[in-house]
Amino acid sequence: MLILTALFSGLMLLNVGRRRRVVAVLLIGCVAILGVSPPPAQAQLPFCLPCVIQAVLTTITVTIGGWLTQINGVLGKLFSLFTQTVWPLAKTNLAKSQIQSIITRFLGVIQSMMSINPHTATLPNPVSLESIIRNRSTADITSVPQAYAQTFRPVPQPGNIAPQDRDLIDMDDAMAQDNLMMLKESDQSQDLQLQLANQIESLIGNPDINISAPGGAPIITAAAVAGQIQSQAVTQRMLAAMLRQEAARLAHDNAIRKRNAAYAGQLQTDMTNILQHR
């Protein structure tokens, strides 16, 4: 640009008169253009670029890289914890084999003990009743009253016994028969509970990881606990039945005592009357 200005100056000196004015105007134009043209800007950075890049690199390498290394380390430890401490496959398989061992060792023995079902009656009616009350099935539950009556005889006819005694006998019979029927129900319930226990044990001890896995155990445990509640309910039903029976027996004895007291009072009155007549 300085060269161009010098050339314009030279041209101005070379020309005179009208041409000189024209050249001067042109030169002023050039100078004006140069004056208004912004000088090329030399960018000045207000900071140290290498330092900034180094800082970013340090952040990436030390801070983020360090955190990633730590996260990686923690995840690695978690993985080790899961695979070696909490759910080691070997231990899972060991637990299953231990379950299988318990099944093998105890289940057969205990089932053979449970299968002992004595039948010791010898005469036809008792044999029939014994068979019905010990067959662990409710299919023939309605047969109990008939077999019971054949063995223990029915309630005497009204003319053969005092009404109070008939009531007592009928109530005693009812409680006894009800409990025998209740026991048939509980026997069948027990068999179903045993069946359930076997199924749970068999499932949880299955060697296939797609059938039994540690993660499925809480569901089975919860189901088993629900089963325990129901087992308790069955036990309570049996206890209630026993309670009724014991209460009825106590009430029976007490009724006899009441009658004896009445008889004693009557005897005393009769004796007094007899002695007075003499």
207 binds another protein (CB under 8 A): no
78 binds another protein (CB under 8 A): yes
Q: Which of residues 1-60 bind another protein (CB under 8 A)?
A: 1, 4, 7-8, 11, 14-15, 19, 22-23, 26-27, 29-30, 33-34, 37, 40, 43, 45, 49-50, 52-53, 56-57, 60
Which DSSP letter does residue 41 get?
Answer: P
156 binds another protein (CB under 8 A): no
Among 105, 119, 153, 249, indicate the residue that binds another protein (CB under 8 A). Answer: 249
> CB neighbours of 249 closer than 8 A, spacing ≥ 6?
172, 175
Identity of the residue, 17 or 118, whose beta carbon is nearer to another protein in the bound complex: 17
Identity of the residue, 6 or 109, whose beta carbon is nearer to another protein in the bound complex: 6
**Minimum distance from CB of 162 to another protein (Å)?**
12
The distance from CA 84 to its chain's CA centroid, rounded to whole angstroms, is: 25
159 binds another protein (CB under 8 A): no
> What is the C-alpha radius of gyration for the chain, rounded to an integer number of angstroms?
54
What's the rounded Cα separation, in Å, for the pair 124 and 130? 10
**Minimum distance from CB of 75 to another protein (Å)?**
4
Whether residue 217 contacts residue 204, with contact meaning beta carbons closer than 8 Å, is answered with yes
Among 108, 235, 267, 270, indicate the residue that binds another protein (CB under 8 A). Answer: 235
211 binds another protein (CB under 8 A): yes
Identity of the residue, 105 or 257, whose beta carbon is nearer to another protein in the bound complex: 257
Whether residue 198 contacts residue 114, with contact meaning beta carbons closer than 8 Å, is answered with no
What's the rounded Cα separation, in Å, for the pair 260 and 209? 73
Whether residue 180 contacts residue 148, with contact meaning beta carbons closer than 8 Å, is answered with yes
Identity of the residue, 125 or 259, whose beta carbon is nearer to another protein in the bound complex: 259
**Long-range CB contacts (within 8 A, 24+) of 126-133:** 126/151, 132/184, 133/180, 133/183, 133/184
**Minimum distance from CB of 223 to another protein (Å)?**
4
